[in-house]
Structures are given as structure tokens and as C-alpha cells.
Amino acid sequence: MASIINEASVGSPVSGVAKTKAVADESPWVRRGLIGLVFVFLGVFLVMPLAVVLSGALAQGWDVYAKAVADPDTRSAVMLTLWVVAITVPLNTIFGVAAAWALARFDFRGRSVLTSLIDLPFAVSPVVVGLAYVLVFGRNGWLGPWLSAHGVQVIFAVPGMVLVTMFVTVPFVARELIPVLAERGQEEEEGALSLGASGLQTFFRVTLPAVKWGLLYGVVLTTARALGEYGAVSVVSGRVPGEMETLTLRVDMLYQNYQATAAFAVASLLAVIALVTLVLKTYLGDRKDDAKPA
Amino acid sequence: MSIQISGVSRRYGNHQALADIDLRIESGELVALLGPSGCGKTTLLRIIAGLEQPDTGTLELEGQDVVDRHVRERGIGFVFQHYALFRHMSVYENVAFGLRVRPRKQRLVEAEIKRRVHELLELVQLDWLADRYPPQLSGGQRQRIALARALAVEPRVLLLDEPFGALDANVRRDLRRWLVRLHDELHVTSVFVTHDQEEAMEVADRIVVMNAGRIEQYERPEVVYERPASAFVSRFLGDVNFFHGRILDGALHTEAFGLRPHEAAEQPSDGAIQAHVRPHEMVLHRNPRESSQLLKARVKRVRPLGAEVRIELAADDHERPVQAVVPRQQFIEQRYEVGEIVFVEPTQIHVFADRAGFAARSIAPDA
């Protein structure tokens, strides 16, 4: 049984192109030209800026770098970012699994509408999302008076930042899981039930292991997006240094205040996280494809 | 364990998948649900399993109403068309699954589970594959592992959905004989779905022939074949030549064979009938007979099929070709040539009421 190389699933751009022999052989010059072009393009637009960030961060020596990173405001930005991620990712994972399950398993009225709705965050600019949340949850918003009467502050506080981050990262887990679940079909689950397993046993022993690589892949993407979110968070945060600042906001703030080296230093933290994510993503993407049925 | 199905119906939107099904399967029987795709056979199997719910009707296992009982509490073993093995588990873990998910109080100790799993793997003759994973197995091996897994929970009824559908012809033949032997050994009440009449004839004690959500006939294989209850059954169970005709005053009249005495079991009001003759029930003569009218036809094509030879004939006033099958030995003696004229005599004619367009609607036209 040969493993299937190409795949039709949405949202996994790293795979799919492997090992296809070109039927129409282009001339070697065309091939080299195209490959070279891609390398140059990626080099100029992706690798170089990252390199600049890292070199900029270390431009004035290791001490300055360490000091910028160790700054209390930066540390609190790291903590706040981790908090937002720690709340957002699990919630969106649960929601994503539930949504993917519903969309892949049931045929119901409004199914296609729901599928499009899940993609909405891809289409809407994060700044617009932030403004919308201000209009709903802000002091003069629809729910604002009720919320402040109950002593809950959403906008210019952590809850607002969590909410907008959740909005922005909704699609990733569901998008990864829907094709995997649809492709696996229901037979294995029915098999488990017929063998006497309960619903929970079926989910944890059969469904979840079957989709785990796709799920982890989705979680990594969600985490990366949550860490890097700027626009929406910037609108709802209020930007109080040392309090309502995430890493991305901190970078922006430092840069605006002409502290370029410190800005680069903090940005380098994000860049390192991004690289780790990239490695994880590639690894999980491969595993996900290996786990496909033969 | 006996299965009693009474008045079961199931509808999907506008499609009546099952219409008022009554069926009794005795304890220890091996029964085939046979029919074309879309006839409702899989739906019926899944209703017995509890994977689908009937709209109306009752289902009793050993006299107990189980319609409201969940699939995991029915004591059935289900073998899926595509086996549905757990791909992330080894063969051993697949077979052990049903034992491991039991409520804690009923769960066996690990040593006992191990003994049972190996016992089952030996039963399906695949003990040596215990550590492999499903994607590493061949289709026939997967099928047998799926069976071992279903048997692990000691089901009172074994249900198999197109168990040999996805296999190569050779593997399929071996496996179905093996399944018959296994059933003789275990004697667990078993129901399997198939669209292959040969498979049903070879494996089943009794065959349920289904069409358009109804049961056409439920009988032993030889009865279904020799005395089909309807034109549909007759045509589904194998090639037939069919002729339109009439029953008049206790005689069968067809254009092909003239008047023949006939004891009409089924006497339609207007007398219109379909006469079915199986290819191997056609005898070829070189000369016409005085006593009865034979169908005059020209040999168009000769096809050797192993032990038999199929001869395709063209008759003048008969638009579709007439098929005859003769034993190879007879063919060698007679040496029918393409182009020669022969006279065809039916040794047995099955007569069915000719409901307008019935045959054409229920079966795709053959060559």
C-alpha cells in the first residue's frame, strides 16, 4: 500500500507538491530560472527582514539586548501574551473540534453558512474586529452599560484582548480538522460503538488519535497567530505600558519611542517563536500526511 | 439467537428505503440479504445492528424488543464493508478493543485478554500479524482481522456488510468458503449483505432477495433459483431469456414456442405473462420437431466459458439475442458453427404476470 502523496485538504500548503515528475519537461534553464526566482524572492522578502531584526537586536551588543529583554515592561508583555495564548488556544481548540465535528458529521440546514462563517476572520481586517468589539463591549457599546453595572470591564482589559484574539484565530483548528474528519468517515467510530465503547471512549480512543496530527497542526497555527496578533489587540488594549501590552504592542511602542534596538530585541523574541513554530509546523505537517490512509 | 423483524419501514426524504419488512431469522442461521444497490439491504442490516433507527416496526432479538436499545448494548458484532479497523492501533489492539472498553467491573485481566486475542487471531489464522498495523495488511487479512475483532465481544448475532465486496476475485472465493466453515464451527446467527447472487447462493442457508425496499422472496438458495417468486427474482439470480406471452385456457402461448400446456400457478386477469427461460435450460436441435413449435434461430457468436459454452442466437422476430449455454462436452460433439440455423427447445419455462414495464424498470437491460 503506497501512501497517497497528493492531498486535497485545505490549509496545508507545505505538502502536496512532493515527488511529482513533470510530464512536460521544461528546459533546464526555465527550471533553474524559476527556482532561482523563488529563492531570491523569499530571500529578499522573508529571510532578509528576519535577519535584520536579529542583527538589529544585537547591534549594540549582548548587554543592551539582555537589558531590553529583561526590562520589567517587556517581561510583563511576555507574561500577558502568554496569558492570552494560554486562554485562547485551549478554548479555540475545543470550539474547533466541536465545529469540525458538526460540519463533517452532520448534514443540517445552514451548514454551508456555518462553514463560511468560520472563515470570516480570514476575510475581516483585525482592526475592524477590534473596533466592532469596542462597539459591542465598550463603555458606550450595546453591552457596555450592563457590563459596567456588573463590574466587568472587557474593553481596555485582558478579557477584550482574549476575545479579539479568539475571533482572529477561530478558523485554524476547524479548518484543519474538517477535511481529516470527512475523509476518515464514520465507520471506525461506528465500529467502536458496535464493540461496546461509550461515546467518550470512542472519542478519546478512536476519533482523537485518528486526527491528532491534524489537530496539533491546527493548534500550532492558532498559537502562532495568537502570539502575533497586533491590529485587533491594539484597538481593545488601551495600551497602558507594563499593563495592557502584548509583545507585538510592546515592539510597536518601543519603535515609536525611538528605542530601535530595544524594539528589535523584543521583536527577536517573536521571531524566534516564529521559527520554532515553523519547525513544529513542518514536522507536524509531515506526520499528518504520513497518518493518512494508505 | 433468533431475529424477528416486524413491519419495519424506513424513509430518507422522498426515498422509501424499507417498506413494511417482516422477516424471521432462526438461531444459528447464516442468511444473505441480496439485492441491487439501493434496495434497502444495508439499511436493514444497520437497523438490526442499531446503527439506524426504523421509522416504524419492531425488532426482537431472542424475543426481546431491542428497538430502543443502543448499538453497544445489543450484543451484535458488525463487520464493515471497508473493515473500519482502527488504523492507529496494532492488529492485537484492534482485536482487544472490545474487551478493553468494557465497564471496569466486567473487564478481564490483561493475561485473560491476551489469551482471548491470540485465540481469536488463531481462529482467523493470522496470529503472526499481531504486531502489524492495518495499513500493512492485505484486503483479505484486514477482512479476517475485522471478523476476529467483531467476534471478540462474543456477539449473539454477527452482521456483515458486503464482507467480500472490496476483494480480488480469488481472495473473495477463498474467503467466502472459509466463512462458511467458520460459521459451521461457531454457529452464531449471521446476516450478510451482498449484491452478488453467486456469493449468496454459495454461502447462505437462506437468501432474502430484496428489491425497492421490499422482500421479494425468502427461501433456501436452491428454491430461490429453481422456483423464483417473481420476475425480479428470476432475473436477478442469473441470466434469463424472456418472452412475452399469454395464458389462455390453461395453455401457455408465446410467439417463440407456440402453444404449450401450462399449469398456471399465477393467472393474471388479462392473461399477459412473461416467460423466462434460463440459458442452460435451452436445448439446441438441428431439425425442427413435429410435436411442438421450436424457436428457429441463427448462431451469432460462440463463447467458451470453461466448463460450459455460451451460444448467442438471433431469432427473426425477436429483437434481443437469445442466450443458450451447453456443456462443453456437448459442444465438442455437436460443433455448432457461427451462421448455422438451429431450433431451440426450452426444458423449463418460468411464468410471471406481466406487470407493464416491471422487468424493464427493476433491472437494467442486459445485452
Q: Residue type at B21?
A: I
Distance CA A150, CA A140 (A): 15
Closest-CA distance of chain A to residue B135, Å: 6
Residue B92 has which C-alpha cell?
Answer: 492485537
Residue B301 φ then ψ, to 5°: -160, 145
Distance CA B275, CA B278 (A): 10
pLDDT band at B357 (very low <50, low <70, confident <90, very high): very low
C-alpha B82, offset from chain centre: 19
Q: Residue type at A197?
A: A
Give pLDDT, residue A292: 52
Distance CA A183, CA A7 (A): 11
Residue in B81, B82, B149 closest to A195 by CB: B149
Give pLDDT, residue B268: 60
Using beta carbons and an 8 Å cutoff, which residues of B are at the interface with A?
Answer: 49, 51, 70-72, 76-78, 80-82, 84-88, 97-98, 101-102, 135-136, 149-150, 152-153
Q: Which of A215, A134, A124, A137 is nearest to A167 (CA)?
A: A124
DSSP state of A2: P
Residue in A1, A195, A291 closest to B101 by CB: A195
Confirm if A64 and A261 have CB atoms less than 8 A apart: yes
Residue in A196, A293, A294 closest to B102 by CB: A196
Please compute the mean of the pLDDT values over residues A128-153 and round it to a whole number: 84
pLDDT over 80 (residue A287):
no
User: How many CB atoms neighbour CB B361 within 10 A?
Assistant: 11
Residue B173 has which C-alpha cell?
Answer: 472465493
Which range (A18-22, A104-108, A230-234, B324-328) has the least confidence?
A18-22
pLDDT over 90 (residue B149):
yes
The DSSP secondary structure of A49-108, one letter per residue, reads HHHHHHHHHTTTHHHHHHHHHH-HHHHHHHHHHHHHHHHHHHHHHHHHHHHHHHHHH---
Distance CA B184, CA A65 (A): 80
pLDDT band at B361 (very low <50, low <70, confident <90, very high): very low
Q: Residue type at A177?
A: L
Give pLDDT, residue B363: 35
Give pLDDT, residue A4: 38
pLDDT over 80 (residue B146):
yes
The DSSP secondary structure of B228-242, one letter per residue, reads -SSHHHHHHTS--EE
pLDDT band at B269 (very low <50, low <70, confident <90, very high): low
Q: What is the pLDDT of residues A159-197, one digit of tens each?
A: 888 999 999 999 999 999 998 888 888 889 999 999 999
Cα angle, residue A262 at apex, residues A259 and A263 outer, rounded to 5° = 80
Confirm if A293 and B87 have CB atoms less than 8 A apart: yes
Contacts of B117 (CB under 8 A, 6+ apart): B92, B95, B96, B99, B130, B152
Q: Which of B59, B216, B101, B41 is nearest to A193 (CA)?
A: B101
Provide the ipTM.
0.80
Give pLDDT, residue A7: 39
Quote the mean pLDDT of chain A: 82
Closest-CA distance of chain A to residue B247, Å: 51
H-helix or E-strand containing B47? helix B41-49
Residue of chain B whose alpha carbon sits nearest to that of A293: B135
3-state class (DSSP) for residue A271: helix
Residue B297 φ then ψ, to 5°: -150, 160
Give pLDDT, residue B54: 93
pLDDT band at B362 (very low <50, low <70, confident <90, very high): very low
Q: Which residue has the higher pLDDT, A235 or B23?
A: B23
DSSP state of A138: S
Give pLDDT, residue A240: 72
Closest-CA distance of chain A to residue B78, Å: 6
Give B285-291's long-range contacts (Cβ < 8 A, gap of 24+). B285/B342, B285/B343, B285/B344, B285/B345, B286/B342, B286/B343, B287/B343, B288/B343, B289/B343, B289/B345
Q: Do A190 and B84 touch (CB under 8 A)?
A: yes
Q: Do A196 and B153 touch (CB under 8 A)?
A: yes
